Chain A
C-alpha cells in the first residue's frame, strides 16, 4: 500500500492537525511546496525555510527543513543573511500579504532590488487572518474587513508587478485551486537564480470569506476556478473582460546575476588586493 508521500517531510514530534482553519488554502500551498522540493530531489539539509509572523508563517513549524521563525515582516532580511553566509543553501521565505507588503514592505522591495537569491512564497489571502481580520495591503478596494466594516477605501497592491518593478528575476502567480500549476511554479522558482516570487492566492474562509459573504472554503475554491485566467490567454482578452479576474502564470523570468555572486566577487577582489 502507498503511504502519503508528504509525511516524510513533516516534522516529527509536532502535533497535527496544524493550526490553520478548516479549508484554509495555506495547507494546500504547504503540500505544493513539499511536492516541488521532493520532485527536484533537493536534500533536506540544504533547505532553509524562513518565515515572519502570521498565519502563513506557521509553516516552518510543520515542515522538517532547517527553519527560522523570525520577527514580523523581517523574514526576507533574515533570509538574505542566511543566504550570504552559506550560498549553497536553498532559502525559501514563507510570508503572507501583510507580513511581506505592509510590515516588511521595505525588506521586500529592497531584496528584489538587490536581487537576493531567495525563493519567496507569498501567500495572499487578502486579510490579516491571525490578528482578527484587519484589512491588508492586498484587500481589494470595496471589500470588507474587521477594520473596514463598510468596505476598504484603499487600492490594493499587485505583489508580482511590485517585485518586477523593484528588480526581481522571476515573478509568478498561482491559485490553490490549481495546486498542480502552483507546484510547477514553485518548482521553477526554486531553480531560478536571483529573487524569485511566487504569489499563491489562498482563500481565508473564516475571516475574509465570512466578512465578504463568499461562503465556505469549497465555494471560495469554486470562485477561483471560475475567475482564473492564464497570463497567455489574458494577453488576447480585452481589458474589460479581465476586471476582477485573477491572472496566473509566469509574468517575468530573466537571467540575472544574483546578489550572493556579486558579493562574493567583491570579497575575493578585496582579499586579493591585500
Chain B
C-alpha cells in the first residue's frame, strides 16, 4: 500500500478490506495513521492497543461500545467505527 494516498484511493482500499470480510468494530487505515496514540489513550473501554508497527490494533473488539470517541478525536481521520449505533 502506498504511503501517501488520496481519499478515493483510501476508500477503495478500505472497501476492498470490507469485501475480504473485515469484521471488527473499529477500522484503522494505517497509511494515514501517525502513531500519536490519542485513540488508544482515550478509548473508554481500552479496546485499542499499540501494535508492534506503532499503529493501533483492535485488541478487545468485543468490549467496543461504538461510542466513536476514537473517530472523533483522531486528527488524521485514520480510524473509524464500522458499525452503526443500535437504536
Interface of A toward B, CB cutoff 8 Å: 1-7, 10-18, 20-28, 30-32, 35, 176-177, 179-180, 183, 205, 216-218, 221-222
Check A216–B7 contact: CB distance below 8 A. Answer: no
The reply to whether A25 and B75 form a contact with Cβ atoms under 8 Å apart is: yes
Given contacts A17-B76, A27-B75, contact A217 B6 (CB under 8 A): no
With A10-B77, A180-B72 as known contacts, state yes or no: A23 contacts B6, CB within 8 Å: no
Give every chain A residue within 8 A of B15 (Cβ-Cβ).
3
Within the complex, which residue of B11, B35, B72 is in contact with A179, where a contact is CB–CB below 8 Å? B72
Q: 0/1 per residue, B26-50, Cβ < 8 Å to A?
A: 0001011111111001100000000
Are A218 and B14 in contact, CB atoms less than 8 angstroms apart? no
Q: Which residues of B contact A11 (CB under 8 A)?
A: 7
Given A27-B74, A221-B38, does the pair A2, B7 have CB atoms closer than 8 Å? no
Cβ-based interface call for B60 (8 A)? no
Is B35 touching A22 in the complex (CB atoms < 8 A)? yes
Pairwise interchain contact B76-A18, C-beta atoms closer than 8 A: yes
Q: Chain B interface (Cβ within 8 Å of chain A)? A: 4-8, 10-11, 14-15, 18, 22, 29, 31-38, 41-42, 71-78, 80-84
Given contacts A14-B6, A16-B7, A216-B36, 17 further A-B contacts (CB under 8 A): A1-B18, A2-B80, A3-B11, A4-B14, A10-B77, A15-B6, A17-B33, A18-B76, A20-B75, A27-B74, A28-B72, A30-B77, A35-B72, A179-B72, A218-B36, A218-B42, A221-B38
Give chain B residues whose Cβ lies under 8 Å from the Cβ of A5: 80
Say which residue of B4, B14, B73, B74 sits within 8 Å of A15 (CB atoms). B4
Contact A12 B38 (CB under 8 A): no
CB-CB under 8 A for A15 and B77, given A217-B38, A218-B38: no
Evaluate contact between A2 and B77: CB separation under 8 angstroms: no
Which residue in B22, B34, B78, B80 is a CB contact (below 8 Å) of A23?
A: B34
| B37 → chain A closest CB, angstroms | 5
Verify A12–B73 contact, CB threshold 8 A: no
Which residue of B has the minimal Cβ distance to A11?
A: B7
Given contacts A1-B22, A2-B82, A23-B34, contact A13 B6 (CB under 8 A): yes
Least distance between B69 CB and chain A CB atoms (Å):
9
Do A12 and B84 have beta carbons less than 8 Å apart?
no
Cβ-defined partner of A16 (8 Å) among B22, B32, B36, B83? B32
Give 28 A-B contacts (CB < 8 Å), ordered by A residue. A1-B83, A3-B11, A3-B14, A4-B29, A5-B80, A7-B77, A10-B77, A15-B6, A16-B76, A17-B31, A17-B34, A20-B75, A22-B35, A23-B75, A26-B75, A27-B75, A28-B74, A28-B75, A30-B75, A31-B77, A177-B73, A183-B72, A205-B36, A216-B36, A217-B38, A218-B36, A221-B41, A221-B73
Q: Is the CB of A7 within 8 A of B11?
A: yes
Q: Which one of A10, A14, A28 contacts B73 once the chains associate, using CB atoms below 8 Å?
A: A28
Closest to B71 in A: A4
Which of A16, A21, A183, A217: most chain B Cβ within 10 A?
A16
Measured CB to CB, the closest approach of chain B to A179, in angstroms, equals 5
By the criterion CB–CB under 8 Å, are A179 and B73 in contact? yes
Shortest CB-to-CB span from A43 to chain B, Å, is 19
> A239 to chain B: closest CB distance in Å?
31
